[in-house]
Amino acid sequence: MPLPGFLKVVFWDLKFDALCIRENQDLIIARVVEYGTDEAVRWLRQTYDDAAIARAMEDRKEQLSSRTLGLWRIWLNKAEDWCAKNPSRPLKGVFWRS
């Protein structure tokens, strides 16, 4: 099933017509939660259930911003540590650790 045309802007770097709602579900969800407009988010919530959205976000959490994860954590009624990201760089050799 093809995606609605208003989502094309979210997939600027991909062949839009080749995307499939079911086969590319995780990619579509991740892109829409991160870059989607109000219209795109409404479409997303009508197309996929909350469990599918949460699963896709968990699988692609490294590609999502902390702000996006925080907002959707509230919308999906998840625990505060849901999709917690690891620090961007490990604390190797810091002066207070011996």
Any domain includes 36:
yes
Q: Specify the number of domains making up the chain.
A: 1
Any domain includes 80:
no
Any domain includes 59:
yes
Any domain includes 54:
yes
pTM: 0.82
pLDDT tens digits, one per residue of 18-71: 999 999 999 999 999 999 999 999 999 999 999 999 999 999 988 999 899 999
Any domain includes 84:
no
Any domain includes 33:
yes
Collect all residues with Cβ–Cβ distance below 8 Å to 95 and sequence separation of at least 6: none
Any domain includes 96:
no
Q: Which domain holds residue 68?
A: 5-75
Query: For the residues of the chain, what is the DSSP string, one character each?
Result: -PPPGGGGGGGTTS-GGG--TTTTHHHHHHHHHHH--HHHHHHHHHHS-HHHHHHHHHHTGGGS-HHHHHHHHHHTT--TTTTPPPPSS--TT-TT--
Any domain includes 69:
yes
Which is higher by pLDDT, 95 or 45? Answer: 45
